[in-house]
Amino acid sequence: MSKENGVDFKLIGTVVTSALFMLLFALVLWVAYIPNQQPPIGAQAKEDAEAQLREMKSEAMQMVMEYKVMDMEKGQVRIPVEKAMEMTVQEYSK
């Protein structure tokens, strides 16, 4: 039998085997996923990204706030959003 002096060796074997499988699973996860983590962003890369974001925001604000001739032949112009909204309200309130 697997019991001697009140100790169940079969139960102990099951617990030890389960613990070993859990450790093996954790090791496989560590080996598989830890090397695939992204490296931390360096200070210069962060500054470059922030500068690029500021430039994009500036360009977007310029597009929304300024007048520009898009196509002279077709008569297409870009007007500020605020002015376009005013013109739309005036057009629909007639």
Condensed to tens digits (0 to 9), the pLDDT of residues 3-41 reads 667 778 888 889 999 999 999 999 988 888 777 777 777
> pLDDT digits over 50-84, tens only?
999 999 999 999 888 899 898 899 989 888 989 99
Q: Which residues contact 54 (CB under 8 A, 6 or more apart)?
A: none
Question: Is the distance from CB of 64 to CB of 80 less than 8 angstroms?
Answer: yes
Beta bridge partners of 4: 7
